[in-house]
Chains A and B, each alone.
Chain A
Amino acid sequence: MGSLFTLIITLALAFPIGVATAVYLEEFAPKNRFTDFIEVNINNLAAVPSIVFGLLGLAIFIQVFHLPRSAPIVGGLTLMLMTLPVIIIATRAALKAVPPSIREAAYGVGASRLQVVTHHVLPLGLPGILTGTIVGMAQALGETAPLLMIGMVAFIVDTPGGPLDAATVLPVQVFLWADSPERGFIEKTSAAIMVLLAFLIVMNALAIYLRQKFEIRW
C-alpha cells in the first residue's frame, strides 16, 4: 500500500508537470541562453544520484514544510523530483520525433501554435511520452535510497490508511528484511522481491502495450 500511494502521488505530479515543461521547452520557449541553461540543468538532474534527491526531500518537505515523516506524500514528492527529469527528457525526445512535415502541414492550413501542438504534435508524441513516463515510474518504484533519507525505514506494522500515514515501500521493506537474521524473514524477503519484480514486469509490459496501441504509422 505504501508503494501504491507513493507512486500515485509521483505520477499525479510528475506526469503533468513533466509533460507541460517539455512541451513548453520544445515548442514555445525562445531559444536563448536562459533556456539552454535550463536544458543543461535538466539533463544533469537526470544523472544526479538518487540519494541526493532523498536529502533534498528531507530538507524541503520535512524540514521546511513540516510534512509528516515516513509518509507516502513525502516519498511521492521526493520521487517526483527524481522522475521529473526522466519524463521531461523522454517527452522532448518524443516531440522532436514528430516529423516537421506534419507541423508545416498544420501551420499551412492556418492552425495556431497551440492548435498545432494539441491537435498534432502531442497525439503523435503520446506513445513516446507514455513509454518514458512508465519507465520513469518503474524506476521510482524500485528506488530505495531517497526514501531511506526521509524516514520511510521505520518498522511499520499496519498498512497505511492514506497518504499522510506512516508507511514504507517495497524496496525499503526488502532492504530492511534482508538485514534481519531470523529465519522467517528470508521467505518474507523473497516474497517481497518477487512482488516487486512482478510489478516492474507488469509496468514495463504496459509501457510496450501502450506504445504499440497508440503508435500511428505514416
Chain B
Amino acid sequence: MNSQTEISKQIRMRAQNVDVFYGDKQALKKINLDIAANQVTALIGPSGCGKSTFLRCLNRMNDTIDSCKVSGDVSLDQRDIYSKDVDVVELRARIGMVFQKPNPFPKSIYDNVAYGPRIHGLTNNRHELDIIVEQSLLRAGLFDEVSDRLNSPGTSLSGGQQQRLCIARAIAISPEVILMDEPCSALDPIATAKVEELIDELKDHYTIVIVTHNMQQAARVSQYTAFFHLGEIIEFAETEKIFTNPVEKRTQDYITGRFG
C-alpha cells in the first residue's frame, strides 16, 4: 500500500484508520489520507468504491444516515472532528460541500447565497450581507451573469450556473475546506471548464477535495490524487506521479481505462 506518500505542504485534514460501515456492509477499510492545505486533492476510482463515502466522512454528512457507522480518526487542523465536544454545525461551516447535482434552494439567487451567513450570524446588517453575497458570487464567477437578477429564483438558472451558485453558497460562509462530490458530472463541457477554472482559482484561498470520475479532470485540476478501489486506497501521490508513473498496476490499469 502506497498511501503513506509524504506531503511536503502543510496538512489541513488527516484521516487515520477510517472504517465506514453501512449496516453490515463495510464501505471503507482502513483509510489513511492526508489532505494538504491550499491544494486540490482528487479522489478517483470506479463507482461504488467509497470515494463519496469518504468525502462525506470529512464533514460528517454521514451522520444523517442512520445505518452508517464511522470509526477511526479524522482531524481538521489536528483536532478530531468526531470527538464529542465538536459542534457539527460549526464543523460544517468550516468544511463546505458542493454536491453532484446542483441543488439550489427554491429561493432567490440572493437568498441562496445569503442563507449560510444568515443562519451563522456572520453579518450584522443588510449592507454586510450584500457585500458577502457579491463577493461570493464574484469568486464563483457568476456575478456578471446574474447581477441584474439577484431576486429571481436560483432554480431558473442553467445547470452550470446553478452549480456555480452552489459553489458561491458554499464559499459564502468562508469555509477552510471545500468538498466537491463530482461537481461537474451533470454539466456540459463548457460549464465544466468554467467550474474547473474556478477550482483552480479557489485553491489559493481554500483547501479543496474533489471526487471525480473524469481522469482528465483529476489530472487538470488536482495536485494530489488518491485512487480508491473496493473501499481501500490503492495509491496516493502527487497527481503527476499517479498519472505518469503509478506504482501499483491496478492504478495504471484504471487510469488507462482497462477496468472500472
Contact = CB atoms under 8 A, between A and B. Distances in A.
A105 B170 CA distance: 9
Interface in B89-118: 89-93, 96-99, 101, 103-106, 115-116
Given A112-B89, A124-B106, A107 B99 contact: no
A178 B46 CA distance: 73
Interface string B57-76: 00101001010000000000
Interface string A101-143: 1111111111110010001100010000000000000000000
A104 B155 contact: no
Contact of B106 (A103, A107, A217): A217
Contacts of A107: 61, 64, 92
Given A102-B103, A124-B106, A218-B106, A108 B92 contact: yes
A104 B103 contact: yes
Nearest to B64: A107
A109 B99 contact: no
B96 A109 contact: yes
A109 B116 contact: yes
B106 A216 contact: yes
B120 interface: yes
A128 to B, nearest CB: 14
A99 B93 CA distance: 22
Contacts of A106: 105, 115
Contacts of A104: 61, 64, 97, 99, 103
Interface string A196-218: 00000000000000000000111
B81 interface: no
B89 A108 contact: no
A102 to B, nearest CB: 6
B20 interface: no
A90 B66 CA distance: 24
A102 B102 CA distance: 10
Contact of A110 (B66, B106, B155, B173): B173
A35 B104 CA distance: 32
At the interface, is chain A mostly helix, strand, loop or mixed? helix
Looking at chain A, what size class is its interface with the partner chain?
20 to 34
B173 A109 contact: yes
B169 A109 contact: yes
Nearest to A120: B105
B222 to A, nearest CB: 21
B190 interface: no
A110 B61 contact: no
Contacts of B90: 110
B105 A102 contact: yes
Nearest to A30: B66
A109 to B, nearest CB: 4
Interface in B114-134: 115-116, 119-120
A31 interface: yes
Interface string B136-156: 000000000000000000010
A99 B103 CA distance: 10
Contacts of B92: 107-110
B166 interface: yes
Interface in B146-176: 155, 166, 169-170, 172-173
Given A31-B66, A217-B155, A218-B155, A108 B106 contact: no
Interface string A34-55: 0000000000000000000000
Given A101-B103, A102-B105, A108 B119 contact: no
B189 to A, nearest CB: 23
B91 to A, nearest CB: 8
Query: Ordered nearest first, which 6 A-B pairs have the shortest CB separation?
Result: A110-B93, A101-B103, A110-B92, A108-B97, A109-B116, A105-B103
Given A105-B105, A110-B92, A110-B119, 7 more contacts: A101-B101, A101-B103, A106-B105, A107-B64, A108-B92, A108-B170, A119-B119
Interface of B: 59, 61, 64, 66, 89-93, 96-99, 101, 103-106, 115-116, 119-120, 155, 166, 169-170, 172-173
6 contacts: A99-B103, A102-B105, A109-B119, A110-B89, A110-B90, A111-B89
